Amino acid sequence: MRIVLTTPAWLSAELARHPEAHRDLEQRVRFVIRLARLNMEHETGGPFAAAVYEADAGRLVSAGVNRVVPMHCSTAHAEVMALSLAQKKLATFDLGAAGLPRHQLVVSWRPCAMCYGAVLWSGVRSLAIAGSDDAMEQLTGFDEGPIHPQWREELAARGIELFDNVLPDEAIAVFEEFHRRGALVYNARRDS
């Protein structure tokens, strides 16, 4: 049995336009917010995106967008897509393995309960998020699940640095547009 998950065609064109490196953290976060917006505009998934960068050099390793609805797969969140593509590219389940540069996951908002766990297992040594308060859930209606109350400390305990609130207003502008469109909130059992 096979599971096949794909990124939308427009994403390849975006990646082709990405410069050699984004040395600046705000550039990286702005890039994933742009991908989140494009995913909403193209109607190819939810309004979320993520990318894996080499933390120090700023080279882009992979990028992913939310693909839950088109892929019929509730785990196809942007973080899972980006992390899996990076691991495939580097042929390792551990982006923190010996000999690799430090990797950073950049996300357009705080990861949900599932993706928070995915970050821990991925081997990234750095997490950068546009913002993390409840504005996204309130604007969009998405349930992000019960993340652990000490989620920041639990990252630190595993050697994962956190950059929070890098560009919250730019990310929230995407969620406001999502709300204006009345787009599909795909949390399971909405009718239950």
Give residues in contact with a second copy (CB under 8 A): 1-7, 11-12, 62, 68-69, 71-76, 80-81, 83-85, 87-88, 90-98, 112-118, 120-123, 125, 143, 145-151, 154, 158-159, 186-192
From the list 167, 165, 179, the residue with the least C-alpha distance to 132 is: 165
Task: For residue 20, count other CB atoms closer than 10 A to its CB.
Answer: 9
Q: Return the SS3 of 40.
A: helix
Q: Which C-beta is closer to a second copy: that of 91 or that of 182?
A: 91
Give the orientation angle of helix 168-181 with respect to helix 25-41, to 10 degrees. Answer: 0
Q: Which C-beta is closer to a second copy: that of 119 or that of 167?
A: 119
Q: Which C-beta is closer to a second copy: that of 12 or that of 23?
A: 12
Q: Which C-beta is closer to a second copy: that of 58 or that of 70?
A: 70
Q: Which DSSP letter does residue 59 get?
A: B
> And the tokens for 32?
């994933």
CB of 135 to a second copy, least distance (A): 20
Q: Which C-beta is closer to a second copy: that of 86 or that of 171?
A: 86
Q: Which parts of 17-164 fold into alpha helices (H)?
A: 25-41, 68-71, 78-90, 113-122, 135-140, 151-157
CB of 124 to a second copy, least distance (A): 8
CB of 31 to a second copy, least distance (A): 16
CB of 40 to a second copy, least distance (A): 17
CB of 173 to a second copy, least distance (A): 25
State which H helix or E strand residue 61 sits in.
Answer: strand 60-65
> And the tokens for 85?
């593509």
